[in-house]
Structure 1
Amino acid sequence: MKKITISLITLLCVLTISAQDITTMWPYKYPDFRDGTVYFKSRQTLSAPVNVHLLKSSLHYLDKEEIKEVTTSDIVLVQIDNDSYFMRNNQLIYVIAGDSLAFLGETILADFGTLRDIGGAYGSSANVQATNQLTSIDIGGITITNHMELKSKKDGGTLLPLARKYYIVTSEKIYPATRKGIESELSGSEKEAFKQFVKQHKINWKRQESLITLLEFFKN
């Protein structure tokens, strides 16, 4: 029953983001800002309408009708409806399954680099360079920060492709959820134990349900 529940939650999350176009005018994960709570390292909290901006997987919130960005280095945890995000490597990582000790996480980034031929590696660094160079293009939440104005222009903008990446996140490390990515971070004895675990559980690296099984290895 637990696995079915996790699968349904994951499916609903995928359907939510698939049901809307991610564009330069609305580069957000959710169709609108949603009630959320932000937990900071200082143990203070912020309750406000929030959304995940897909340029760098950062958190934006509404101060009345003005869109503002939360300083990522101060964030520990974000709750948006039933969704949880932990801050790791200055990115919000969505929790698919697990807890703060070990969880399967996901990042979704909008590929602004496709709008102009720029240098830099694919990913958030290229996206930052793209944004710095695209000064003539309005970008929702960056160059346009009034919520009502942005909503009125929501159907405009250029469609952006998305890049999804999965991670196994522990209290000490972040592992790309690939065989090579995990093995490269393990010691000799850990690597052998991991190979046996993968073989025993017949891990399918393209299925979320199978990646969730990897959490047992890291918790042990």
Structure 2
Amino acid sequence: MDNQERLVLSETSLSLKSRPMKSYVRIFLLLCVTLWGTCGGFVLSATQYSPTTKWPYLYENFLDGTVYFAADQKTKQMKLNIHLQNCTLHYLDGDKVLQSNPRDIERIQIGNDQFIYMNGELVRLVKKTDGGISLVESVKADLAALSKGASGAYGMGTDVSAVNQLTSIQLGGISNLSHAQMKLERNDGKDLSLIKTYYFIFGDKIVEATRKEVEKSLGDNGKTKLKAF
């Protein structure tokens, strides 16, 4: 899983290559349809609370979870959460908040949610077909939104003022690694907006789950089948 943190094992790629194109396109199109019906539950659960700059985490609390390691298939149970700046795994060691090294981690289970790495960032596995095509969800903090409304000289918005405002905001879980202190200050920060993006993964290819990108990935023959479907 080095080099862009490859998400799919070699045998998955082989199974896709051996699958007839007609069957492959059919599975891909069916997965496109499930995109809209499958994702709602997680979005609702994720909106039960609002992350802030002092508590920039996917979950309201650190939850019991399991880390699965690829090399020796060992597992480890810990209190886990996902930091929304770069979708990194944080865990508790007593009162300390530590960041996990993604090396050798195959997947992570937090409650009913399963996560895998995509380009070095954790994404939630929404659905995976027998053909090896996966639909994943990326949830990140919209840090750029924090700088909206920043103004430069004479009321003109500038990139410099936006950068200064962003760098002046101290994100929890970065420099303050005390879990107890973070919990005390969690409501003192600014609300964080979230950016949710969906991707299809097949073989070593990642495609954003939009009509435009899906059509591009399928080619002319695939476009015809998608339109007919």
Q: TM-score, normalised by structure 2?
A: 0.70
| Alignment deviations for residues 38-95 of structure 1 (CA, whole Å, 9 cap, x no partner) | 1233234332010111101111111111111112343221111111111111111111
| Alignment deviations for residues 115-157 of structure 1 (CA, whole Å, 9 cap, x no partner) | 3479xxxxxxxxxx969x62x4331111211111111111110
| Alignment deviations for residues 162-198 of structure 1 (CA, whole Å, 9 cap, x no partner) | 11111001232111112322344x4xxx513321332
Using a 3 Å threshold, how does the CA distance of structure 1 residues 75 and 138 change in structure 2: closer, same or farther? Answer: same
Q: What amino acid maps onto 2:71 in structure 1?
A: S
Alignment of 1:19-98 (within 5 A): 19-43=48-72, 44-98=74-128
Corresponding residue number in structure 1 for 2:213: 181
Please, which runs of 5 or more residues in structure 2 have no aligned partner? 1-32, 151-161
Give the structure with higher Rg (CA): 2
Corresponding residue number in structure 1 for 2:145: 114
Q: TM-score, normalised by structure 1?
A: 0.72
Corresponding residue number in structure 2 for 1:16: 45
1:112 deviation in Å?
Answer: 1.5
Output the CA distance in 1 between the equivalents of 2:184 and 2:129. 38
**Is the contact between residue 54 and residue 190 of structure 2 (CA under 8 Å) also seen in structure 1?**
yes
Corresponding residue number in structure 1 for 2:154: none
Q: What amino acid maps onto 1:76 in structure 2?
A: E
1:30 deviation in Å?
Answer: 0.7
- Give the match's secondary structure for 1:168: strand
Q: Which of 141, 144, 158 is equivalent to 2:176? A: 144
Moved more, 16-25 or 93-102: 93-102
**Identical aligned pairs, as a percentage?**
32
- Give the match's secondary structure for 2:106: strand
**Is the contact between residue 73 and residue 90 of structure 1 (CA under 8 Å) also seen in structure 2?**
no
Q: Is 2:221 the counterpart of 1:193?
A: yes
- Give the match's secondary structure for 1:21: coil
